[in-house]
């Protein structure tokens, strides 16, 4: 894509999202944690499903500072340009493909970079889409638990939904809120990592994260009257 067209796309996307947040009826349940996060960021991992990532822009526009992990794919390269234009840091890499687990996708480098970022940035917020970049949908991969555990930082998961909205026919059923939509955002309490870094403890922590993110997303979907995905979120 030519730079001028890309710049125009960025302007349109940002303008559209600002229109959504300016006109939407938004209900947020986050408690004091969100106020603290928006004031100066906090040392935490911020998890939201890949298909609901647009809802994180509300926190972005409100002043929250993110660094995120982005795949090394062509889609990831495009996403990185968008993130850079909006002042969001990017760590490149993703987990290996289930079809070709031997293929190097930069997962180890991303893991090391994310842990380093959290340890070196006391108020850093690392944004993750734990079912990305290719699914399965609504199922957390191990990376989010591994990063938080080894960095010693809590995970906060964010469930979000909207109605009316466009649901894209992609693997993640990407949800695009429409102007004047009803939007529900539900933050979890901080999920502290285990002191024991053994496999069983970290696996149990991953289950806690997965269950919390499903529950918060289900809660948001119910508020917005979206019932099509509730069985997947049980």
Residues 77-129 have pLDDT tens digits of 777 877 888 889 999 876 544 444 344 456 788 889 999 999 988 788 999 99
- Kindly report the backbone phi and psi dihedral angles of residue 166, in degrees, each rounded to the nearest multiple of 5, phi listed first: -95, 125
Residue 162 tokens, joined = 């909207």
Structure confidence at residue 2 (pLDDT)? 59
Rounded distance, CA 180 to CA 162, Å? Answer: 10
Say if residues 200 and 191 touch (Cβ distance below 8 Å).
no
Under-50 pLDDT residues of the chain: 96-104
Phi-psi label, residue 41: left if phi above 0, alpha if psi -120 to 50, beta otherwise: left
Structure confidence at residue 100 (pLDDT)? 41
pTM of the model: 0.89
Question: Helices (H), strands (E): how many in the chain?
Answer: 7, 7
């Amino acid at each position: 894509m030519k730079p001028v067209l890309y710049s125009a796309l960025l302007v349109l996307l940002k303008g559209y999202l600002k229109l959504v947040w300016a006109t939407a009826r938004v209900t947020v349940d986050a408690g004091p944690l969100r106020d603290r996060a928006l004031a100066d960021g906090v040392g935490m991992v911020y998890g939201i499903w890949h298909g609901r990532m647009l809802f994180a822009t509300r926190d972005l526009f409100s002043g929250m500072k993110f660094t995120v992990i982005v795949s090394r794919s062509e889609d990831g390269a495009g996403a990185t340009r968008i993130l850079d234009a909006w002042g969001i840091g990017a760590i490149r890499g993703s987990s290996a493909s289930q079809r070709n687990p031997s293929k190097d996708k930069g997962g180890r480098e991303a893991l090391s970079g994310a842990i380093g970022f959290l340890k070196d940035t006391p108020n850093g917020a690392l944004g993750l889409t734990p079912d990305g970049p290719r699914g399965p949908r609504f199922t957390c991969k191990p990376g989010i638990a591994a990063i938080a555990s080894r960095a010693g930082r809590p995970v906060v998961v964010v469930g979000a939904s909207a109605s009316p909205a466009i649901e894209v026919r992609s693997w993640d059923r990407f949800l695009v809120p429409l102007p004047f939509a009803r939007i529900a955002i539900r933050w979890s309490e901080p999920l502290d990592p285990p002191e024991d870094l053994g496999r069983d403890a970290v696996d149990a922590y991953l289950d806690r994260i997965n269950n919390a993110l499903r529950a918060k997303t289900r809660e948001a979907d119910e508020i917005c009257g979206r019932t099509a995905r509730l069985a997947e979120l049980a």
